[in-house]
Amino acid sequence: MSGVPAPIDRLPTFPWDKLEPYKKTAAAHPGGIVDLSVGTPVDPVPELIQKALIDAADSPGYPTVWGTPELRDALVGWCERRLGARGLGHPNVLPVVGSKELVAWLPTQLGLGPGTATSKDVVAYPRLAYPTYEVGARLARAEYVAYDDPTELDPEGIKLLWLNSPSNPTGRVLSKDELTRIVAWAREHGILIFSDECYLELGWEAEPVSVLHPDVNGGSCEGLVSVHSLSKRSNLAGYRAAFLAGDAAVLGDLLQIRKHGGMMTSAPTQAAVVAALGDESHVREQRARYAARRELLREALLKHGFRIEHSEASLYLWATRDESCWDTVGHLAELGILVAPGDFYGEAGRQFVRVALTATDERIQAAATRLS
């Protein structure tokens, strides 16, 4: 329509396009590229999950947005066992079509927008963060602000506060005390918290805690929603399997909106999630793979002159040589190693690179050899 900007006009340049020249350099290495730039799983989907998907393949009818009773039972049970959440029922959980979709469209689904001349709708997110938090605010035409400590923000106008622990990209984990303080502050000011906990299963030097833990929230999930994904823990990035847990009133409103939008997780995927959340052995096996890769890469980077900050959890090493991140990207590309520049995640990352652990054992070994 005339005078109305297209959604693309509200978005920044897609950052990964900037990496293409460096990818070509890395690919020209005689030993081939080692792509550590994107956190996409490379290991097989566990057989029991594949079997559950196949067994549910004959699903001719539409699935429900809310999910099957079996799925909701599985989500509630996992939250109680893994997060320590208490008193949850079916209204406290909601499957979503992958977590990125949720992050990008949440401000819009919550009804946030430009606000008025005297009252803005503001989305707050960490200063070093997954870029889609900002994208979601832009798509809704809402205001946005980055923080180091959310409790130091002016709460005026903040409608949505994103937490991310363990962090992408830094791997930083918010302690139980930090989470408790933030939750109390947000409740005092009537601010809704969405806590992105997609890397919660991957703590290495710290034990991540959910905002749904009663020690954090006092036994009530009012004003709190946690976001979880099976992409990393179960290698299900290709399945688009994620879910929300928390405040039933918030999830009830989102359910109605998502019904209108037809945002349904496929029936075979729902069955696969039930199988995945009911089995912990494959999670332990995958953790062991990542732990071994992390140790090998970490030692190689340190010997090569890098400094590692945070990185106590998640699938990344947050590394620096105290130079421009693009100089570091170029240096590693000459070795056939592709990493993500830190400024993809905010200006505060301009001297860091994010190094993913998501490559095969053979490729991780190749990177370690080249670094040493």
Is the Cβ–Cβ distance between 194 and 163 less than 8 Å?
yes
Q: pLDDT digits over 161-173, tens only?
A: 999 999 999 999 9
Rounded Cα gap, residues 186 and 25, in angstroms: 47
CA distance 163 to 1: 36
Q: What are phi and psi of 138, to 5 degrees?
A: -65, -45
User: What does 204-228 look like in DSSP terms, one character per residue?
Assistant: SSS----TTSHHHHTT--TTEEEEE
* pLDDT 10s digits, 128-139: 999 999 999 999
* 192-196 and 143-147 beta bridge pairing: unpaired
Q: Rounded mean pLDDT of 71-86?
A: 97
Distance CA 318, CA 344 (A): 13
Cβ distance 114 to 85 under 8 Å?
no
Residue 166: asked if its preceding bond is cis (omega within 30°), the reply is yes
Cα dihedral 322/12/196/354 (nearest 10): -30
Answer yes or no: is pLDDT of 287 > 60.
Answer: yes
Taking the C-alpha atoms of residue 37 and residue 56, their distance in angstroms, rounded to an integer, is 34
Residue length, the chain? 372
Enumerate the domain spans of the chain. 7-44+282-371, 48-277
Query: What confidence category does residue 12 fall into, taking pLDDT thresholds of 50, 70 and 90?
Result: low
pLDDT band at 7 (very low <50, low <70, confident <90, very high): low
The partner residues of 35 in beta bridges, in order of sequence, read 338
Question: Looking at domain 7-44+282-371, what is its CATH homologous superfamily?
Answer: Aspartate Aminotransferase, domain 1 (3.90.1150.10)
Average per-residue pLDDT for the chain? 95
pTM for this structure?
A: 0.93
Residue 241 C-beta-side C-alpha neighbours within 13 Å: 28
In CATH terms, the fold of domain 48-277 is Aspartate Aminotransferase; domain 2 (3.40.640)
Whole-number Å distance between alpha carbons of 258 and 240: 16
Answer whether 7-44+282-371 and 48-277 agree in fold. Answer: no
The tokens for 297 are 């890469």
What radius of gyration do the chain's Cα atoms show?
21
Q: What is the pLDDT of residues 248-279, one digit of tens each?
A: 999 999 999 999 999 999 999 999 999 999 99
The answer to which of 63-77, 115-129, 184-198 has the lowest mean pLDDT is 115-129
